[in-house]
Structure 1
């Protein structure tokens, strides 16, 4: 186990411990999501309605965990159809319309209506407002004292336009807006279709408030006293996904996503191809300078300053011929002037350097160490 893996493992364990401590010490948080789930006791679940539905419909309620398309495979006597915030596909809606045309009644309590429903019934453009409070009230005078005040996340949905053959049974009343229809009825064949755009009044939060049950009873009183089929397949069918338990618990779900995120980061940062450490190869050392130094030290040890001056003079004149293109055959006044013009050095310096060059070329000249040093400085200065 390498060091990097150990570091990631320690970090992961620390994160898991922190999450566990947060989960143990966290306060109970109310889930205000609009789930409309019959198994949820959260404010916007349908747990209370599910328990009170049978008495409300005089024990004539039957919950169907299939879609209308799957359920209606054989003839059935006229009955009531109830749909609360469930997805209706086109084929299921056609089955419902077929049953309504033969004498059944359908009541849809849905905040978002499929286009097939609105086109069949005859209303358009669901209107939405953003008021913090509104009141649901029926238009029939005998129900004037029964209403529901929505003070938690009302959708404010209503029907902006309905056809003349559509009867308005209820409205949403708001402080700063005029009333708009939210409960309508339309005749279809031998039966009726009822549509309510605000199913919040059936949730736990509102049904448990005093007096609100009466409004729900008034809404369902429009249905005939007969068998009621409640199509609740979306809310009651248990998911067959193998991760359903983890994803159904918020704490486990967050831990799962953190685990996946950490795994992705681990793979990302370790995705580079690993290889052996490439050894550092030192470049070949330039020994020319060392060689020159060795030769220089040899000459110094021999003490042959005259020979060193001759070689330095020869090197200098060669550089002048190649770099400055000056003829060095005659080291006269003409040579000195050309060298002065090409290098820009003073004539006195150039004449002194020429004298030292001539001295180095003369095999009979007497040369001292100081002469070699002075000549070396002059020639180097000229060639700068």
Structure 2
């Protein structure tokens, strides 16, 4: 194990220990941001409202994830008839607001819950200039006598938003009550063309934190009771847009986020330690040359020059019989008719070829036999043919 590898190992182990310590000692942090996101389970997200919206609107609700301008521009012939339109704390462009007002003129009821409405639009509806108080607690109440007991108490970061000026013929449906301030309207109704527009300036009552309290559910139901039983179109575009950054998923989960930073740290350390390293020249090593063919050729030339055909026949016969003993398991002590028959059965060659080969083998084994070149050539062909 070289020194560099040891350094990498130590750095990696130390990094993992540090990450583990951070993970063990970290405190759970509650996200109190007012995000009004239908996918967030944080206190001021709309996750619960999103899940309960079907029951609240009796299944007659449709979520739209594009802007009102795009939706009504692309569905000009499909949106005739009276509908309810719901917008919750959405930052819509002016053209989208005008599309919503056109629907109200045609007879639809519009419910706007939020404070971020362009001044030109709020002026056309019938109110302007919102007011912010700095009380830590307040109460949302209805002005309708039948709902007086269904108030909701806001004890966490109330915005205190209300309407400081309301035009004539605008009906006040609810108000914000504070201990040290005068009551101010927060829920109004405006007749607009053939339809109605409802505006509520405090969307906190729809968030997870307040809907988890059973006593607050009645207030939410009463707010939406002002809408009729028509289909409700809920424009959620501004609340459902998520980052399209490729690392959004990784960085949104703490364990994956830590793994990502450890990986980046490891890459930086690798670059630092290897920045000045140069690759050594790799020497070219020639592979060993196969000299077997040259050796065989040399031996062959030697025998050819000596002309000792008898010795070559003896060695060929010895090699052949050894191969028969090992591969075919035939005893070669006696080269008789029994040997010829066994060799015939196991090789499938004719007895004539085998008997002729045996004669030549015996001739090669006889030190006093007279051998010529043709005998060696004939025996070599016969023995090779038997083992094909």
TM-score, normalised via structure 2 length: 0.61
**What residue number does 2:335 align with?**
none
C-alpha displacement of 1:242: 1.6
RMSD of Structure 2 on Structure 1 (CA): 3.3
SS of 2:103's partner is helix
- State how far apart, in whole Å, the 2-side matches of 1:254 and 1:153 are: 32
Structure 1 residues 192 and 262: alpha-carbon distance in aligned structure 2, compared to 1, 3 A threshold? farther
Q: Could you tell me how far apart the structure 2 residues matched to 1:93 and 1:127 are?
A: 22
Distance in 1 between residues matched to 2:12 and 2:119, nearest whole Å: 48
Partners of 2:261 and 2:194 in 1: CA distance: 53
C-alpha distance in structure 2 between counterparts of 1:89 and 1:161, whole Å: 23
Alignment of 1:18-167 (within 5 A): 18-72=18-72, 73=74, 74-75=76-77, 76=79, 77-167=81-171
Q: Is the 8 A contact 1:93 1:116 kept in 2?
A: no
What is the rounded CA distance, in whole Å, between the counterparts of 2:83 and 2:35 in structure 1?
27
- Seen in structure 2, the aligned counterparts of structure 1 residues 184 and 253 have a Cα distance that, compared at 3 Å, is farther
Change (3 A) 1:23 1:78: same
Which segments of 5 or more consecutive residues in structure 2 lack a partner in the other structure? Answer: 1-5, 277-388
| Residue of structure 1 equivalent to 2:330 | none
Greater Cα shift, 33-42 or 128-137: 33-42
1:229 maps to 2:233:
yes
TM-score (norm. length: structure 1): 0.61
Structure 1 unaligned spans of 5+: 1-5, 268-273, 275-384
CA distance in 2, matches of 1:10, 1:99: 67
Deviation at 1:239, TM superposition (A): 3.3
Superposed CA offset, 1:188-242 (max 9, x none) = 1111111111111011111121221110111001111110001112223443222
Equivalent of 1:190 in 194, 197, 206 = 194
C-alpha distance after superposition, 1:226-282 (max 9, x if no partner): 100011122234432223213434676689799999999xx9xxxxxx9xxxxxxxx
Cα distance, 1:243–1:168 mapped onto 2, change above 3 Å: same
Q: Tell me, what secondary structure is at the counterpart of 2:214?
A: coil
140 and 248 in structure 1: CA distance in 2 versus 1, 3 angstrom threshold: same
Query: Which piece of structure 1 moves more, 187-196 or 38-47?
Result: 38-47
Task: Find the residue that maps to 1:43 and give its secondary structure.
Answer: coil
